[in-house]
Amino acid sequence: MATFTSDGIDPEIQQRVLEFLNTVSVDSEIAGIEPQEGPVLDDPTKGYSGQRGGYDIGLTVAQRILDKRATLGDAGFTDLSQLSGISGLGQDKFDDLIYTFSHSSAPTLPGLVNGGEPATPAIITTSPLWTQSSHLTPPALTFVRATDNAIILQWEDDNATADGYRVSLGGSGVLATHFDLPGNNRTAWLTSKMVFVPDILSGGTGSTNQGRVSAMPLIAESSHEVTIWATDPNAVSESGPNSSAHVTLSVPSIRIEDPATGRTITPSTVQPFAVWDANGNGIVDGEPSGAAFPRYPGCICAQTTTRRGNAFDAVAGVRANAVVGYFFYDGNAPQFIAYHLFVDSSNDVTPISVLYGDAEVGVAGNRVWVSPPGTIIHTIQVTSGVANINLPDIVEGTVTAETKASDGSNRIVEFQYSLALLPK
């Protein structure tokens, strides 16, 4: 049996592998569905890569990995050395894991429409940070667009001495905050965090309305002022007539019906999220397993469709590469909708699954309803971003899905959305 170590492996790659192994719930989510290629890719430079179809992790070894994880307690795998001694997991398969989560295949998927309105230039305080220079020309915003979850900016600048830019965001739901960008930038986008924090949902029965945090959670229908300044080592430009814009995030419509009772939910305040599987590893990177969306805590749906943790869902061998959805309240109960979809290089969309359910951590009896295959009706348009200038893709659409829980109860989920897909 092989012995492994984390020595010499990039810490970020280690974390990706550990999150993947701690996220999956069944052996097929590691091994894939044969004869199709599984989520763990064969390293073409090592081992048995010359064999037709490669030599990936099979179902038997995948189950042994899950069995080993079960012996490690709630924390699961915390170091790659814990993969040592698993029968059938040799150096070649270990190398394949490292290769898979080192491999970057970010979609090169940009040309949107102007959606901002002129705003009163932001008032800046007198401090060394905000010393104004008449030698710096104010940049001009040329493009401002708001989706349900993001504000996207482009600007022009003809300063010869500027070494960077400062972007400021203020308005409802956030404390006024700013961040600095290097001088080669001409684009920026601001977005909600995916992590569910109930207090940032103003108006929910269970909310304390204390969501004014500098992490910039953007809530659908919230209004903001954005301002761009040029900077040098000592000062910022003055605010010009075209350097600020007032922008309001778009508003989704959500409707959830219980056919048995006729009761419907139409939440008006939501926190949206959207994420690409930018590196193709099947998980949302950078978020703790089981503690960030898309997670389905304590749900009672079938294990094979639950996809616990941060996994992109898969149906019939096709794995989603994007998730779009919302958090909201039903009374004082936090809930979510998530639409998993696969977008190909031509921007054609294949529906994978729609999920609706409870989003409260650690509460017994939480439930998730999952759409059976073939029950999703949608109209979708994807507008490609520009990868080399950091503009995200935009996905817009309407979705209707029948969903079912393991106890046979049904929900009809309908929603329309406009979301920036984030290369998390």
Tell me the C-alpha distance between 113 and 117, whole Å.
Answer: 13
**pLDDT score of 46:** 63
* E strand map for 157-197: 164-171, 177-182, 187-191
What residue type is 141 in one-letter code? L
**pLDDT score of 340:** 92
State the first-to-last Cα distance of the chain, in angstroms, to the nearest integer.
Answer: 36
**pLDDT score of 184:** 74
Taking alpha carbons only, the member of 360, 373, 366 closest to residue 402 is 373
Tell me the C-alpha distance between 309 and 404, whole Å.
Answer: 20
Name the percent of the chain lying above pLDDT 70.
70
Dig out the tokens for 288 from the structure: 């703790």
Does the structure show a pLDDT above 90 at 358?
no
Q: Which residue, chain included where needed, has tokens 């900016």?
A: 153
Q: Which span out of 90-99, 220-229, 261-270 was modeled with the highest average pLDDT?
A: 261-270
Does the structure show a pLDDT above 60 at 215?
no
**pLDDT score of 350:** 94
Does the structure show a pLDDT above 60 at 111?
no
Contact 296, 310 (CB under 8 A): no
Contact 326, 282 (CB under 8 A): no
Q: Checking DSSP bridges between strand 132-133 and strand 236-237, what pairing results, if any? A: parallel
Mean pLDDT, rounded, for 209-217:
34
* Cα–Cα distance list, 167 to 155, 189, 244, 373 (Å): 11, 10, 10, 44
Q: Which span out of 1-10, 256-265, 348-357, 367-376 was modeled with the highest average pLDDT?
A: 256-265
Phi and psi at 267, nearest 5°, equal: -65, 145
Banded pLDDT at 354 (limits 50, 70, 90): very high
Banded pLDDT at 32 (limits 50, 70, 90): low
Q: Report the run of H or E that residue 327 belongs to, with start and end.
A: strand 322-330
Fold of 117-248: Immunoglobulin-like (2.60.40)
**pLDDT score of 260:** 96
Banded pLDDT at 363 (limits 50, 70, 90): low
CB neighbour list of residue 260: distance below 8 Å, 6 or more residues apart: 409, 410
**pLDDT score of 125:** 46
What are the tens digits of pLDDT across the range 287-339? 555 444 455 544 444 433 344 456 788 888 888 999 898 888 888 787 889 99
Radius of gyration of the chain (CA): 23
**pLDDT score of 173:** 46
246 exposed, middle or buried (CB, 10 Å; 0-12, 13-18, 19+)? middle
- Report the chain's mean pLDDT, rounded to a whole number: 74
DSSP letter string, 248-282:
E----EEEEE-TTT--EE--S--EEEEEE-TTSSS
374 exposed, middle or buried (CB, 10 Å; 0-12, 13-18, 19+)? exposed
Tell me the C-alpha distance between 353 and 338, whole Å.
Answer: 8
Domain residue extents for the chain: 11-102, 117-248, 253-421
DSSP letter string, 23-86:
H--STHHHH-STTS--SSPP-TTSTTTTSTT-----HHHHHHHHHHHHTT-TT---SGGGGTT-
**pLDDT score of 301:** 45
**pLDDT score of 177:** 66
**pLDDT score of 213:** 28
* Cα–Cα distance list, 137 to 68, 104, 121, 231, 233 (Å): 61, 39, 14, 10, 15
Contact 320, 341 (CB under 8 A): yes
Banded pLDDT at 126 (limits 50, 70, 90): very low
Sign, CA dihedral 109-394-173-203, equals: negative
Q: Largest alpha-carbon pair distance within the chain? A: 70
Dig out the tokens for 111 from the structure: 């040309």
Give the least confident one: 133-137, 138-142, 356-360.
Answer: 356-360
Give the least confident one: 41-45, 150-154, 279-283, 315-319.
Answer: 41-45
Tell me the C-alpha distance between 308 and 297, whole Å.
Answer: 7
**pLDDT score of 86:** 92
Q: Please tell me which residue, 100 or 371, carries the higher pLDDT value.
A: 371
Tell me the C-alpha distance between 329 and 420, whole Å.
Answer: 22
Q: How many helices (H) and strands (E) does the chain have?
A: 5, 22
Name the percent of the chain lying above pLDDT 90.
20
Does the structure show a pLDDT above 90 at 258?
yes
Tell me the C-alpha distance between 271 and 402, whole Å.
Answer: 23
Tell me the C-alpha distance between 407 and 398, whole Å.
Answer: 27
Does the structure show a pLDDT above 50 at 210?
no
Banded pLDDT at 285 (limits 50, 70, 90): low
Mean pLDDT, rounded, for 152-166:
85
**pLDDT score of 200:** 34
Mean pLDDT, rounded, for 387-392:
66
Tell me the C-alpha distance between 187 and 185, whole Å.
Answer: 6
**pLDDT score of 45:** 66
Q: How many CA atoms lie within 13 A of 168 on its CB side?
A: 24
**pLDDT score of 178:** 72
